[in-house]
Chains A and B, each alone.
Chain A
Amino acid sequence: MVQLDAIQKRLIEEIADLHSVPTGAYNFRANSKLAGRNTTANIDIVSKPDGSGIDIHVKPGTKNESVHIPVVLSESGIKETVYNDFYIGEGADVVIVAGCGIDNCGSQDSEHDGIHRFYVGKNAKIKYVEKHYGSGDGRGQRILNPVTEVYQEEGSSVEMEMEQIKGVDSTERTTLAELKADARLVVKERLMTHGSQNAVSTYQVNLNGAGGTADVVSRSVARDESSQTFNARITGNAPCSGHTECDSIIMDKGRILAIPSLEANDVDAMLVHEAAIGKIAGDQLVKLMTLGLTEQEAEEQIINGFLR
Chain B
Amino acid sequence: MLEIRNLSFAVDEDDKQKEIIHDLNLTIEDGKFTVITGPNGSGKSTLARLIMGIEKPISGSILLDGEDITALDITERAKKGISFAFQQPVRFKGIRVKDLLCLAAGKRISVSEACAYLSEVGLCARDYIDREINSSLSGGELKRIEIATLLARKTRLSVFDEPEAGIDLWSFQNLIRIFEKMRAEIRDSAIVIISHQERILQIADEILVLADGRISEKGTPAEILPRLIGQSAPVSACQKLQ
Where chain B touches its partner, the secondary structure class is mixed
Instruction: Evaluate contact between B104 and A291: CB separation under 8 angstroms.
Output: yes
Given A301-B103, A305-B99, A289 and B74 contact (CB-CB distance below 8 Å) = yes
Instruction: Evaluate contact between A305 and B94: CB separation under 8 angstroms.
Output: yes
Task: Compute how far the CA of A284 lies from the CA of B133 in the bound complex, rounded to whole angstroms.
Answer: 11
Instruction: Evaluate contact between A291 and B149: CB separation under 8 angstroms.
Output: yes
Q: Select one of B54, B88, B94, B103 contacting A291, CB under 8 A.
A: B103
Task: Compute how far the CA of A13 lies from the CA of B86 in the bound complex, rounded to whole angstroms.
Answer: 41
Instruction: Evaluate contact between A289 and B75: CB separation under 8 angstroms.
Output: yes
Instruction: Evaluate contact between A290 and B52: CB separation under 8 angstroms.
Output: yes
A41 partner residues in chain B, CB cutoff 8 A: none
Instruction: Evaluate contact between B79 and A305: CB separation under 8 angstroms.
Output: no
| Interface-located stretch among A75-83, A130-138, A292-300 | A292-300
- Nearest-neighbor residue (CB-CB) of A287 within chain B: B90
A294 partner residues in chain B, CB cutoff 8 A: 75
Task: Give per-residue flags for A263-287: 1 if the beta carbon is below 8 A from chain B beta carbons, else 0.
Answer: 0000000000000000001011011
B153 partner residues in chain A, CB cutoff 8 A: 291-292
In this assembly, does A161 line the interface, its C-beta being within 8 Å of a C-beta of chain B? Answer: no
In this assembly, does A247 line the interface, its C-beta being within 8 Å of a C-beta of chain B? Answer: yes
Task: Output the least CB separation between A16 and chain B (Å).
Answer: 22
A160 partner residues in chain B, CB cutoff 8 A: none
Q: Select one of B74, B95, B96 contacting A290, CB under 8 A.
A: B74
Task: Output the least CB separation between B106 and chain A (Å).
Answer: 6
Task: Compute how far the CA of A294 lies from the CA of B75 in the bound complex, rounded to whole angstroms.
Answer: 6
Instruction: Evaluate contact between B103 and A293: CB separation under 8 angstroms.
Output: yes
B149 partner residues in chain A, CB cutoff 8 A: 291
In this assembly, does B37 line the interface, its C-beta being within 8 Å of a C-beta of chain A? Answer: no
Task: Compute how far the CA of A290 lies from the CA of B75 in the bound complex, rounded to whole angstroms.
Answer: 6
Q: Select one of B74, B83, B92, B96 contacting A286, CB under 8 A.
A: B74
Task: Compute how far the CA of A281 lies from the CA of B88 in the bound complex, rounded to whole angstroms.
Answer: 14
Q: Select one of B52, B84, B93, B104 contacting A305, CB under 8 A.
A: B93
Which of B78, B149, B153 has the most chain A CB atoms closer than 10 A to its own CB? B78
B92 partner residues in chain A, CB cutoff 8 A: 284, 302, 305-306
Total residues of chain A contacting the partner, CB 8 A? 22
B78 partner residues in chain A, CB cutoff 8 A: 289-292
Q: Select one of B75, B79, B95 contacting A295, CB under 8 A.
A: B75
A283 partner residues in chain B, CB cutoff 8 A: 86, 88, 90
In this assembly, does A308 line the interface, its C-beta being within 8 Å of a C-beta of chain B? Answer: yes
Instruction: Evaluate contact between A305 and B95: CB separation under 8 angstroms.
Output: yes
Task: Compute how far the CA of A303 lies from the CA of B240 in the bound complex, rounded to whole angstroms.
Answer: 50
Instruction: Evaluate contact between B103 and A288: CB separation under 8 angstroms.
Output: yes
- Nearest-neighbor residue (CB-CB) of B152 within chain A: A291
A289 partner residues in chain B, CB cutoff 8 A: 73-75, 78
Task: Compute how far the CA of A291 lies from the CA of B89 in the bound complex, rounded to whole angstroms.
Answer: 13
Which of A247, A288, A291, A308 has the most chain B CB atoms closer than 10 A to its own CB? A291
Instruction: Evaluate contact between B75 and A287: CB separation under 8 angstroms.
Output: no
Task: Give per-residue flags for B65-101: 1 if the beta carbon is below 8 A from chain A beta carbons, else 0.
Answer: 0000000011100110001101011101111100110
B83 partner residues in chain A, CB cutoff 8 A: 290-291
In this assembly, does A259 line the interface, its C-beta being within 8 Å of a C-beta of chain B? Answer: no
In this assembly, does A176 line the interface, its C-beta being within 8 Å of a C-beta of chain B? Answer: no
Task: Compute how far the CA of A302 lies from the CA of B103 in the bound complex, rounded to whole angstroms.
Answer: 12
Task: Output the least CB separation between A295 and chain B (Å).
Answer: 7
- Nearest-neighbor residue (CB-CB) of B83 within chain A: A290
Task: Compute how far the CA of A304 lies from the CA of B86 in the bound complex, rounded to whole angstroms.
Answer: 23
Q: Select one of A287, A302, A307, A308 contacting B86, CB under 8 A.
A: A287
Instruction: Evaluate contact between A286 and B54: CB separation under 8 angstroms.
Output: yes
Which of A290, A301, A306 has the most chain B CB atoms closer than 10 A to its own CB? A290
A284 partner residues in chain B, CB cutoff 8 A: 90, 92
Task: Compute how far the CA of A198 lies from the CA of B94 in the bound complex, rounded to whole angstroms.
Answer: 24
Task: Output the least CB separation between B109 and chain A (Å).
Answer: 13
Given contact pairs A291-B78, A294-B75, A301-B95, enumerate 9 new A-B contacts (beta carbons under 8 Å). Answer: A286-B54, A286-B74, A287-B90, A291-B106, A292-B78, A292-B106, A295-B75, A305-B92, A306-B94
List residues of B whose CB falls within 8 A of some A CB.
52, 54, 73-75, 78-79, 83-84, 86, 88-90, 92-96, 99-100, 103-104, 106, 149, 153
A–B complex contacts, Cβ < 8 Å, 13 sampled: A219-B93, A219-B94, A284-B92, A286-B90, A287-B90, A290-B78, A291-B104, A293-B75, A301-B95, A301-B103, A302-B92, A304-B94, A306-B94
